[in-house]
Amino acid sequence: MTAFKVSVKKETCIGCSVCAQICPTDVFEIKMVKDGEYFRLVSEVVREEACIGCMACVENCPTDSIRVEKAEAEVKA
Ligand code: SF4
Ligand code: SF4
């Protein structure tokens, strides 16, 4: 079960890779994407299930582009 929901706001991400470098569980990868006529780098969430909710990415993103939220409890035992 995914414990945390991780999302990157592509509109404001500048592809600086701080999140990819700081995340202890490699949740992010920096990818080249087409943006109109040009290509640019953005961070993509590739391993959301590995997130431990440390908030290092949220605290260190220079453009405040990352959200990490606790996922809703799916099944209560
Ligand atoms: S730290 Fe923020 S701006 Fe930099 S690549 Fe990650 S999401 Fe984008
Ligand atoms: S909260 Fe921590 S573990 Fe989760 S994506 Fe951000 S840096 Fe990685």
pLDDT digit string, tens, across residues 44-77: 999 999 999 999 999 999 999 999 999 876 655 5
Task: Say if residues 50 and 29 touch (Cβ distance below 8 Å).
Answer: no
Alpha carbon 61 to its chain centroid, in Å, reads: 10
Give residue limits of the domains in the chain: 4-67
Q: What's residue 72's pLDDT?
A: 77
Task: Look up the CATH number of domain 4-67.
Answer: 3.30.70.20
Ligand 2 pocket mutation pick from 4, 22, 46, 51 by most atoms within 8 angstroms of CB: 51
**Would you state the torsion angle of the CA atoms of residues 9, 42, 24, 5, taken in this order, to the nearest 10 degrees?**
30
